[in-house]
Structure 1
Amino acid sequence: MAILETILIVLIVYYILKILAKRFGPVLLRYAAKKTEKRFRDAFEKQARAQGRTTQSTEGEVTVDNTVRSNERFRSKKKVGEYIDFEEVE
């Protein structure tokens, strides 16, 4: 009899959680999305201020970032060898 009571309690709790999730799930997800969006926006604005830029640029303003040095960093300095094309021999 204790097994039936346990199964009944588990089922009741399951259905109650299911109903609550349908009611409050979208509200909680919307809240979490707004908080995440605010954090990303704040981080972006902080980074823009740190670089001396504003989030709104004037019309006709041109900025050039030199990225040549950053690409050199990823290139391999040592020579690996030459390319050899092998042919299959039967």
Structure 2
Amino acid sequence: MIQEASVMGLLKTVLIILLVYFGFKILARLFAPLLLRFVAKKAEQKFGQQFGGFQNQTNQRQQQKHKEGETVIDKMPNQNRSSNSKVGEYVDYEEID
């Protein structure tokens, strides 16, 4: 027995595909921000576990060393800057036309 495709069957199929597509778009707009927020929160927790111990130790050390309002210079400038006398001598010149 051979079945033939009818116009109504084709229209029903196209209508079902369009309803599923647009339904998915609407649901994605509703739930995408919630899903992204959940994923970002999980990633933040994961990074916090990996790097949290290091950050907490560093912050505690800095707070213990320095008082509030105190100015701290981490790197002192190099004091022994000497000019090299072997570079050459300065020669004054004139432009010739």
Q: Which residue of the other structure, out of 42, 47, 50, is the alignment partner of 1:40?
A: 47
Point out 4+ residue stretches in structure 1 off by more than 6 angstroms. Answer: none
* Counterpart position of 2:57: 54
**What 5-or-longer segments of structure 2 have no aligned partner?**
1-7, 67-97
Identity %: 42
Cα shift at 1:5? 1.1
Cα shift at 1:45? 2.5
TM-score by length of 2: 0.49
C-alpha distance in 1, partners of 2:18/2:34? 25
C-alpha distance in 2, partners of 1:42/1:25? 26
Cα shift at 1:11? 0.4
Larger radius of gyration: 2
Cα shift at 1:3? 1.8
- Give, as a single letter, the amino acid of the residue that structure 2 aligns with 1:3: L
Q: How many residues align?
A: 57
Q: CA, structure 1 residues 4+44, in 2 after alignment: closer, same or farther (shift >3 Å)?
A: same
C-alpha distance in 1, partners of 2:12/2:58? 61
C-alpha distance in 2, partners of 1:58/1:27? 38
The higher relative CO (CA closer than 8 Å, separation ≥ 6) is in 1
* Counterpart position of 2:16: 9
- Give, as a single letter, the amino acid of the residue that structure 2 aligns with 1:58: Q
TM-score by length of 1: 0.52
Cα shift at 1:55? 4.1
